[in-house]
Structures are given as C-alpha cells and as structure tokens.
Amino acid sequence: MVNLLIILAKIMLALLGLLTGAAYMTWFERRLVGKIQDRIGPNRVGWEGLLQPAADGLKLLLKEDIIPFGADRLTHGLAPILAVFIGLSAILIVPVGDQVSIAGYDVPLVIANVGILFFLAFSSLAVYSVVLAGWASHNKFSLYGALRASAQMVSYEISMGLAVVGAVLLWGSISLVDMVHAQGIGNLKELIYFLLSIPFFIVFFICALAETNRAPFDLPECESELVAGFHTEYSGMKFASFFIAEYANIIAISAVVVTVFLGGWKGPGILGLGDLPFIWFFIKLFGMLWMFVWIRATFPRFRYDQLMDFGWKSLLPFTLAWLLVVGFVVAWWGPVTAA
C-alpha cells in the first residue's frame, strides 16, 4: 500500500510539474525572444509578467469553443486530448535523480524504469494527433499542415532512433537509469565513449527540433503559408491543449536528451557537489530549454525541400556512418559498463 501511494505521489508531482513547466515555458520563451530581438515581451501581468501564463489560460478558458461546419466533431475533439496525453506520458520514464530516503523508504526518483523504447514508441504516436486535427478540421490549410507534419516527423524519427541505438551501444543498456550510471569521464574509456556520443547528441537534438515542430523546422505551422497549420480551426481550451502538448513535448524530449547524453543528475563534482538529488538534472534541463528558445529566435525557417533533403540526404547517412564506426569500437572494446 505504501509503495502504491509513493508511485501515485510521484505521478502527481511529475504531471503537476510538467504542466506548470509547460505553462511557464510560454513566459520564458516570450521573455527570452524579446531580449534577443531587443524588445520587452510580457511584463504587465504580475512582476516581470510572471502571471501572464495564468492570464492567458483564463482567457482561453473563457473563449468560445468553435467547431467548423463540415468538421468531424468526434475526431476534432479527440485530437487535442490525444496530443496532451502523449505529451505528458514521456516524462514518466525520465529519472531526475538516483534515489532518496523518505521515512525509511528508499524512493527511486523515476516513476517507470521501462527503458528508452517507451519514449520512442510514444514519440512516434504524436503524429496521429496532428494528422487527426488537420483532417477533422475540414480546412485545406489545416490538412496541408498535417501532411507536412506527418512527413517531417516520420522522416526525422529514423535518425532519432539511430542516435538512440548508438547511445544504447555505448552505454550497454536500454534503461535510462543504467545509461546515467554508465556515463562519465573518470577514465580513458569513459572519456572516449563520451566523445563518441557527441555526434549522436547533435543528431538527436536536431531531430528533437523537427519532432516538436520547432524553428527552423516549424513548416507544419508556418503562419506565412498555412495561417497556423494543423490547429488553425481550434479555439478555446482545445487550442490551449495543443500549446500545452507542444511545450510538454519540448520539456520531455529535453529531459531525455539530458538523461541519455549529458549524464542526467550527475554533476562535475566541483566543491563536492557531484550527485546532488535532481539539482544538476534541472540545471542541464534549463540549458536545453534555453537552446530550444535561442534557436527559434536565431535561425530562419527551412524551405520544405531543404528540410526533407537535410533529413534524408545529410542527417540519415551521417548517422548511419557514425553508428557503423561506434559499432566497430564497441565490438572491439565492449560497452562502457564493462570497464
């Protein structure tokens, strides 16, 4: 009974933290982009605009829910629910720390240690919510955005999966907890394997931008061509649900990057601050989120042919070639856990 209560408490904390983080990612992004573009950003509601997400949420909650004439009502309502469900699910497998002792119980700081394959499975399902939203809206611009998104996400999923395969080869496990324990630069083998993982990290991060439809890969939502893309015909809380799902996906995929490639909760050990429970994890997570926003404010959008060419003709061949190199090294030397 105690273990069940602990699991439920961890689920509630994870979901509450992710929803709060998704809301305040909107504030963080608008403020940071404002600084980069030499303007202010939201600063009226609350101190420095900190209550702006709450004001936006209240406004959307009071907006009328409009369903276009000719739209499929059931699918139109199901798509944003599916998007939020998938966006919130990935965070359940990410360990934010090793374990802590609470009232005599050793509590692992992960909800479900089921491995990286769970994340790949759920990330591949995200395209369904986009396609359903575009098709059910009975709007040609929404459908164009959905078709773009499906082709883009399927294309970049391949390179993302190969980058994960490389990480599994290097760290010798599909468990995210074991991957964190295997990472380090304490000896020559660990250092070399860390250096070998850097190209996989870069590929995974680029694919993460494409999977979350972020600039410069935001072709499914580009306002200059498709109004707002697949969610053009959504209003009120359905519209807000797509935004929550997008930012929840950004946080979840950044957490996976931190865990698989950046040592998770492990720190450099400066001043004895090596493996503080979840502190280093959130420092690294903040850095990844900053990168998402900085890239959005810095790089121009790809043309669609450039986006597809880059995914199939550059990213995929490079990832396959580097995976072959890493495979030879690991076959000769063994995974880093064997050190």
pLDDT digits (tens, 9 = 90+) for 156-177: 999 999 999 999 999 999 999 9
H or E segment to which residue 277 belongs: none
What pLDDT, on a 0 to 100 scale, did the predictor assign at position 92? 87
Least confident of 104-108, 134-138, 235-239: 104-108
User: Which DSSP letter does residue 41 get?
Assistant: -
Under the banding of pLDDT at 50, 70 and 90, the label for residue 269 is low
Q: What is the mean pLDDT of residues 17-31?
A: 93
Least confident of 237-246, 269-278, 286-295: 269-278
Tell whether the model's pLDDT for residue 276 goes beyond 60: yes
**What is the spatial distance between Cα 201 and Cα 197, in angstroms, rounded to a whole number?**
6
Candidates 332, 270, 311; CA nearest to 153 is 311
**What is the spatial distance between Cα 99 and Cα 27, in angstroms, rounded to a whole number?**
31
Tell whether the model's pLDDT for residue 229 goes beyond 80: no
H or E segment to which residue 100 belongs: strand 99-102
What pLDDT, on a 0 to 100 scale, did the predictor assign at position 339? 39
Q: What is the mean pLDDT of residues 24-53?
A: 92
What is the number of other CB atoms lying within 10 angstroms of the CB of residue 54? 14
What pLDDT, on a 0 to 100 scale, did the predictor assign at position 277? 64
Q: Where are the domains of the chain?
A: 2-338
